[in-house]
Amino acid sequence: MSYRFRQSSMAAVLAVIGGAWAAEAVAAQDFLFGRPSITFGARIGYAIPRADSEIFDFTRDELTVEKEDFNAVAIGADLGIRLTDRVDLALGIGYANSEIDSESREFIGSDDLPILQTTDFRRVPFTVGVKAYLTERGRRISNLAWIPSRFAPFVGGGAGFVWYEFEQEGEFVDYETLDIFYDYFTSSNGSALAYATAGFDYSIGLRWILTAEARYSWASANMGESFVGFDKIDLNGLRAAFGFSVRL
């Protein structure tokens, strides 16, 4: 083995060791090299629809369903693209589904058993908006180094599109003949929405953020052919959520 080859090999080993040491040193720093430009997060929370339209009134009147039964666990993901030091472009998607087992309030079957059915109410919103921070999210300590703030409250708002599906399946009563029949009713459609939000970010490291948020959305959409004669379905509602984001 030549001296030049041994020298080159030793230099390569030292470079690898030096690179590993540098990476470990950077990981130990309490600052980032450069201001992050993107955040990506996942959320879990609770959706509370207003449920204030004819289809919800009819369901509560005829079936053993209460308004709070339409509440549901909600999940979501969002992408934040930094526009300025205090403003992000916010892109989001969510999902919430309530599945409610019920029976007829006024009637029972000829076998003295309850008349049973299930109602499903799903919502999938897609949103685009802005998130404005009320305080600085971090500060520069040099041309390269950036330190995140521990606590950063925000407000925001935007618009988007929400898809919904409302389904009822099971046994129902024909109020003219009092016959009991099995059927499946469904309505799905989409609508524009608007929303407002408020919350805070809490940094739990250089890159990781704990976020808590409350969001209210406004939307309504037409009902499908299974529900002819009903007015638009109310898609307004509140969502409270928390989750984690990572700075990229």
As a whole number, mean pLDDT of residues 85-106 equals: 97
| Phi and psi angles of residue 153, each rounded to the nearest 5 degrees, phi first | -75, 155
Q: Cβ distance 223 to 185 under 8 Å?
A: no
Query: Strand, coil or helix: what is 64?
Result: coil
DSSP per residue over 84-112, as a string? SSSEEEEEEEEEEEEEEEEEEEEEE-TTS
21-64: pLDDT as tens digits: 333 333 444 656 667 899 999 999 999 999 999 999 999 999 99
List beta partners, residue 128: 91, 159
pLDDT at 220 over 50: yes
> Three-state DSSP class for 19?
helix
Cα(157)–Cα(213) distance, rounded to whole angstroms? Answer: 12
Tokens matching residue 118: 């299930």
Per residue in 186-198, pLDDT tens?
999 999 999 999 9
**DSSP track, 4-62:** HHHHHHHHHHHHHHHHHHHHHHHHH-SSEES---EEEEEEEEEEEE---SHHHHHHHHH
For residue 174, the SS3 value is coil
Residue 36 has what pLDDT?
A: 85
Q: Which residue type, as a one-letter code, is found at position 52?
A: D
**Please, which residues bridge with residue 75 across strands?**
44, 95
Q: pLDDT grade, residue 102 (50/70/90)?
A: very high
With pLDDT > 70 as the criterion, what percentage of the chain qualifies?
85
The encoded tokens of residue 74 equal 């909600």
pLDDT classification of 104: cutoffs 50, 70, 90: very high
pLDDT of amino acid 190:
97
Percent of the chain residues topping a pLDDT of 90:
76
Rounded to an integer, what distance in angstroms lies between the CA atom of residue 23 and that of residue 187?
55
**Residues in Cβ contact with 4 at an 8 Å cutoff, skipping those fewer than 6 apart:** none
